[in-house]
A and B are shown apart, each in its own frame.
Chain A
Amino acid sequence: MGEYTSEELQSIFIMQSFSGLSLFSVLLLMGLGLALIFGQMGVINMAHGEFMALGAYTVYYCSHLTSTYAPAFGPYYFVAAILLAFIVCALLGALVEWGMIRHLYHRPLDTLLATWGLSLILQQTYRSIFGAREVTPTLPDWLMGSYTVKEGLDIPINGMFVLGLSIVITIALITFMYRSSFGLKLRATVQNRKMSAAVGINTAKVDRLAFSLGCGIAGIAGAAFTTIGSTGPDSGSRYIVDAFLVVVAGGTASLLGCVVSAFGIAQAQSILEFFLEGTKGKVATLLVIVIALMIRPQGIFPGKVRGH
């Protein structure tokens, strides 16, 4: 770092931190969905990345429809598309839970393999429908451009929007988990499935809702993803390992841990990427996390209930 002046370094750090914030938003949304599915229910959803890609494709398709049939609606479609991405992914999630996952709850390792099979099928479906080339939706004008704080320091508006979106979703999810009756039922089911069933909670319904909610949040992550990158059939699979590490490093059952670890991982990657060429920044980050997890497997915020 010797060749940079301290002022340049400061600017680099701030700029990279802001670009890290976009990555943080995507990782956080991916992680929150997984934290519900994996952390709370113990299901390893390897197709989670494909749900994210589905959300991104939904936004792309909406953008395509809007620009073809209703150009006047152009500036506003994005908000509707985010909602639609959530609904589409949640519906597919409910279908997957009904057809596949619910038969495998007692075999967690096998959910991993079955959902991997699902991810292959989904990837090929995207390839058949949208083609192998990466696609980008036309973003509305108000999302483009950047806000110049001072010379050499630009903050992109889309990044701020995505960050705001993920903060809103996080708060909504935490409220939902800890203030609603469904959240109470879900937490009860996680802690003791048999007792919850005995006191009259429909645990099968709770499972399905939780799974489709997780998938829906992955869909929103996909919508957020379209603002920072272009979507291809394998876009989702590139984020799946990061997303799992976010959940595991945060402490599997902790939503707050998820926020902290997503922030740490995204910032470390984006700052290191500037100073180390190519993939070395990512390798260094992942290596640190994996070694940390070997030493402290319970993550940053270990859950209160932890059985062996």
Chain B
Amino acid sequence: MPLFFRTLFKTRGEAIAFGGFLLLLLVILPLALPIFRLNLVGKYLTFGFVAIGLVLLWGRCGILSLGQGVFFGLGGYCMAMFLKLEASDPVTTAIQSTPGIPDFMDWNQITQLPLLWEPFKSLPFTILAIFIVPGVVAFIIGWAMFRRRVGGVYFAIITQSIALIFALGIDGNQGFTGGRNGITDLRTLLGWDIRTESAQYMLYFLCVVLLFAVALLAKYIINTRLGRVLVAIRDREDRVRFSGYDVAMIRAFIFSFAAMISGLGGALFVLQVGFMSPSIVGIVPSIEMVIFTAVGGRLSVLGAILGCLIVNFGKTMFSEAFPDLWLYLMGGTFIAVVMFFPNGLAGLLEKIPTSKEKYLQMLGRSKKPTPTSPTTKVTSLSDEQ
């Protein structure tokens, strides 16, 4: 067990930070916050799943995906379809012209449940689909692109286009997906009302436990050989390829893994918030998830979760008090983080105990490229600069 422990945490400080954070989320916040705020924290934490995926994908492997909202959305829509079918049993929907199908289908003159919706009557299938659907979609996209050695900037643009296509596609097929309003009015999970306070507490704790399980899994990946290969691919892709590793396969795998945990996050989002709509899967939310990760620290699993909490708290508080200032602040923070603290909050916290010199060095790093900097080596189409 100690050996396994050492694989997860390299230093004692890391383990303490992890434990402290767990204590904060499991004990302190539930005691200190009213359920309304705690539910919000739970919602922010579901973005943490995406952020952990981005740490592996972007921070460690150098692939920036601007389409993670798609996978969050796929997982969320799977869950929402199941809950919606349960909420539209023939008794409660008796006033519809076709009882037993979701209300938005009835409004769109659809008289029969579409074939794709049928399997989502089963919970085991839904749970499986939450992981499999995003995972397979990501693997196909990743495999198609990484095999052609597409990466870096190009990959970011393509994934962003996919996010746009996905959001527009959901928006445009109202009868099938609920359209712009999304899938709303979700009530029960196998008869258990998810809107009550006790259910929200339960779901919050479920979310925290699953998030930490995923975080530990991510840390395990980072600290094993696979994690080191990921960093090697980020820094010198060609050398890893010449050493006999299947770079495309490893990238596609990690992209698919990140998509799966994003899907889990999406499902937990739906359970806690009670709806799913295209506004949470498009270009803007996908980039925002990257922002959370960048602010928290693209290299650190814990930092990424912290980034989700801090940015979202800031967003909620500022947009309540000064809605006009919020976008300035968010844009400004983002520029500052990218230019001066590329490793985010976690990078700053790690630097505090060391000498002042190193701190200054880090601030000045944006001036000159250092070959060891994690962000220097990215594959782009024209690598000749």
Contact = CB atoms under 8 A, between A and B. Distances in A.
Interface of A: 38-39, 42, 44, 100, 103-110, 112-114, 116-121, 123-124, 127-128, 190-193, 241, 244-245, 248, 252-253, 277-280, 282-283, 286-287, 289-290, 293-295, 297-298, 303, 305-308
Given A295-B144, A306-B382, A117 B150 contact: no
13 contacts: A42-B380, A104-B366, A106-B385, A110-B339, A112-B66, A121-B331, A124-B327, A124-B328, A127-B324, A193-B385, A241-B164, A245-B157, A307-B384
A17 B156 CA distance: 31
B128 interface: no
Contacts of A295: 144
B378 interface: yes
A108 B334 contact: no
A42 B375 contact: no
Given A295-B144, A308-B383, A280 B172 contact: yes
B382 A305 contact: yes
Given A103-B366, A105-B385, A293 B158 contact: yes
Nearest to A276: B172
Contacts of A305: 382, 384
Contact of B327 (A39, A109, A120): A120
Contact of A294 (B158, B324, B338): B158
A158 to B, nearest CB: 27
Nearest to A103: B366
Given A42-B380, A124-B324, A193-B384, 5 more contacts: A112-B64, A252-B381, A253-B381, A283-B169, A286-B168
Contacts of B238: 308
Nearest to B340: A103
Interface of B: 64, 66, 141, 144-145, 148-150, 152-154, 156-158, 160-162, 164-165, 168-169, 171-172, 237-238, 283, 287, 290-291, 294, 324, 327-328, 330-335, 338-339, 342, 366-367, 369, 375-376, 378-385
B334 A42 contact: no
Contact of B331 (A109, A124, A128, A297): A124
B154 A307 contact: no
A285 B61 CA distance: 31
Contacts of A307: 382-384
B165 A116 contact: no
From B141, B165, B367, name the one whose CB has the most chain A CB atoms within 10 angstroms. Answer: B165
B334 A245 contact: no
Contact of B382 (A104, A107, A252, A286): A252
Nearest to B150: A297
Given A279-B172, A283-B169, A307-B382, A108 B153 contact: yes
Contacts of A279: 168-169, 171-172
B152 A109 contact: yes
B385 A287 contact: no
Contacts of A252: 381-382
A293 B327 CA distance: 33
Given A44-B157, A293-B158, A113 B378 contact: no
B172 A113 contact: no
A128 B279 CA distance: 24
Nearest to A303: B382
Contacts of A114: 334-335, 338-339
Contacts of A120: 327-328, 330-331, 334
A42 B339 contact: no
Given A103-B339, A248-B157, A42 B385 contact: yes
A295 B140 CA distance: 12
A137 to B, nearest CB: 25
A112 B153 contact: yes
From A192, A193, A293, name the one whose CB has the most chain B CB atoms within 10 angstroms. Answer: A293
B332 A117 contact: yes
Contacts of B334: 113-114, 116-117, 120
Contacts of B333: 117
A118 B287 CA distance: 13
From B152, B172, B327, B379, name the one whose CB has the most chain A CB atoms within 10 angstroms. Answer: B327
A151 B144 CA distance: 49
Contacts of B154: 248, 297
B378 A282 contact: no
Given A294-B141, A305-B382, A112 B332 contact: no
Nearest 9 interchain pairs by C-beta: A117-B334, A120-B331, A307-B383, A121-B331, A124-B327, A106-B369, A117-B335, A279-B172, A117-B331
Contacts of B369: 106
Contacts of A44: 153, 156-157
Given A108-B153, A290-B158, A308-B379, A283 B165 contact: yes
A9 B169 CA distance: 27
A100 B172 contact: no
Contacts of A294: 141, 144-145, 148, 158
B298 to A, nearest CB: 10
A287 B161 CA distance: 9
A252 B383 CA distance: 12
Given A106-B369, A114-B335, A305-B382, A241 B168 contact: no
A241 B148 CA distance: 22
